[in-house]
């Protein structure tokens, strides 16, 4: 038998964490319980975060949107603020798992799992997200890309939890694209994905562009050279092909049971072509 704590407020959370220092926190459990079943994670006790109001919901705070760490993917998908301001995240969430997984899984869990295949991560990278961390000792904020330290690794400290994610509203962007290749159309672990946030002038020139790829390196991969090549140029097939070369240089994929490194590298570049209008 294993103890499971269901704290209802932060005070109960901190005291449970103090009483059971070896306990694992979880929200939806869609990653943790799978790992426990496989025996790769051993947790003498569990602390569930889903009842903490502080970790729930979506708020508009001036130029920023705050997403509670324990908010489920389904709740984010049906949230009007997310729908209005973060279409890129919406596209990614729609490809995550399946309806039951989206009903259980949370954005905080997806971030803390820190998988290179985590589908919310490329969008959050291009949105320059910041994570909010809290412990009995206080709060801190960190850019997401600094928080994620490697595959499955974060800079979360002992006794600390993730309370939320903060992104600036991408007010200038007029093209939001998330593309994901998996082995099937649902319940598919990402083989390669791309998140793109662009501002394109009416004349068709790229004024600004942010790009990130999933599943093609130890963490989310970026390609500044590709962004630089495209900034200021027209959105043409030729220009995208040229930028794709930089993408293929920037990514660092591996072979695994789902696909070869060569395929991932090739497609990471090819996905740029999906940005072509029409």
Partner 1 sequence: MTTRPPKIGRDFLRPDAPAKAAGVEKYAVDHYGENLLWAGVRRAGVPHGLIRRVDAAAARSLPGVRAVLTGGDVPGTNRQGIVHKDQPVLCDAKVRYAGDPVALVLAADRETLRRALALIEVDIAPLPGVFTIDDALNHDAPRLHEDHPGGNALLQATIEAGDGAKALAECDVVVTETFTVPIQAHAFLETENGIARREEDGRIVIIVSTQAPFRDRWEVSHALGLPMDGIRVIAPYLGGGFGGKDGATVQCLLALAAMHADGRWVKMWWDREESFQAGYKRHAARLHYHLGAKADGTLHALHCRVYYDTGAYAHLGGEVMALGMEHAGGPYRIPHTRIEGWCLYTNNPVAGAMRGFGVMQVSFAFESMMDILAARLRLDPLEIRRKNALRVGDRNSAGVLMTSSTGIGACLDAIADHPLWKDRAVWKAAAGPNKRRGVGLAAVFNAMGYGRGLPDTAVAKLEITPTGRFVVYSGVADMGQGNATAFVQIAGAALNQEEGMIDLVQPDTDRTLPSGSAAASRTTYTYGNALIRACQDMRRRILGRASMLLLVDRLEDLGLLPGRVRHPATGREIPLAMLAATLTTPERFCVYQYLMPVVPDPPATGKAFKIGFPHLLFSYGCHLALVEADELTGETTVRDYLAVTEAGRILNPQTSVQQVQGAIAQGIGYALHEDLQVEGGIVQTDDLGKYIIPTALDLPDIRAVFAQAYEETGPFGMKGLGEVASNGPLPAIANALADAGAARIFRSPLTPERVLASLQQGPGM
User: Among residues 132 and 179, whose Cβ is nearest to partner 1?
Assistant: 179
Could you say which of 11, 53, 245, 276 contacts partner 1 (CB under 8 A)?
276
Under the binding rule (CB under 8 A), the answer on residue 267 touching partner 1 is: yes
Shortest distance, CB of residue 186 to ligand FAD, whole angstroms?
8
For residue 24, give the nearest of 1, 42, 7 by alpha carbon: 42
- Rounded CA gap, 133 and 82, in Å? 21
- Rounded CA gap, 51 and 11, in Å? 13
Site map (CB under 6 A) of ligand FAD, residues 165-194, x = contact: ----------------------xx------
Give the footprint of partner 1 on residues 168-197 (CB under 8 A). 181, 183-189, 191
Under the binding rule (CB under 8 A), the answer on residue 257 touching partner 1 is: yes
Give the footprint of ligand FAD on residues 63-92 (CB under 6 A). 69-70
- Rounded CA gap, 274 and 278, in Å? 9
User: Among residues 108 and 269, whose Cβ is nearest to ligand FAD?
Assistant: 108
Q: Which two tokens stand for residue 253?
A: 């994929």
Which listed range, 6-14, 138-146, 210-218, 252-260, lies at the site for partner 1 (CB under 8 A)?
A: 252-260
Give the footprint of partner 1 on residues 11-70 (CB under 8 A). none
- Rounded CA gap, 35 and 58, in Å? 28
Alpha helices in the chain (DSSP H): 10-19, 32-38, 73-77, 80-85, 87-95, 99-104, 107-113, 121-126, 144-147, 224-230, 237-250, 261-270
- Contact residues toward ligand FAD (CB under 6 A) are 24-32, 34, 49, 69-70, 96-97, 101, 104-106, 108-110, 112-113, 118-119, 156, 161-162, 187-188
């Amino acid at each position: 038998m294993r103890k499971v704590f269901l704290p209802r407020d932060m005070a109960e959370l901190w005291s449970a964490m103090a009483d059971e220092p070896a306990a694992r926190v979880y929200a939806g459990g869609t990653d943790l319980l799978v790992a426990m079943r496989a025996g790769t994670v051993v947790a003498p006790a569990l602390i569930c975060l889903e009842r903490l109001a502080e970790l729930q919901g979506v708020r508009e705070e001036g130029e920023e949107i705050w997403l509670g760490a324990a908010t489920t993917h389904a709740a984010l998908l049906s949230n009007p603020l997310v729908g209005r301001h973060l279409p890129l995240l919406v596209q990614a969430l729609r490809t995550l798992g399946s309806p039951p997984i989206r009903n259980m899984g949370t954005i905080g869990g997806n971030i803390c799992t820190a998988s290179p295949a985590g589908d919310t991560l490329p969008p959050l990278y291009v949105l320059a997200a910041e994570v909010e961390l809290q412990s009995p000792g206080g709060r801190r904020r960190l850019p997401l890309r600094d928080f994620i330290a490697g595959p499955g690794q974060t800079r979360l400290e002992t006794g600390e939890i993730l309370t939320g994610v903060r992104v600036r509203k991408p007010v200038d962007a007029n093209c939001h694209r998330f593309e994901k290749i998996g082995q099937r159309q649902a319940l598919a672990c990402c083989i390669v994905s791309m998140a793109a946030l662009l501002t394109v002038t009416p004349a068709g020139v790229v004024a600004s562009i942010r790009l990130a790829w999933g599943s093609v390196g130890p963490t989310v991969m970026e390609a500044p050279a590709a962004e630089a090549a495209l900034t200021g140029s027209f959105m043409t097939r030729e220009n995208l092909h040229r930028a794709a070369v930089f993408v293929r240089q920037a990514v660092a994929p591996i072979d695994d049971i789902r696909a070869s490194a060569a395929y991932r590298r090739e497609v990471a570049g090819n996905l740029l072509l999906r940005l072509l209008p029409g």
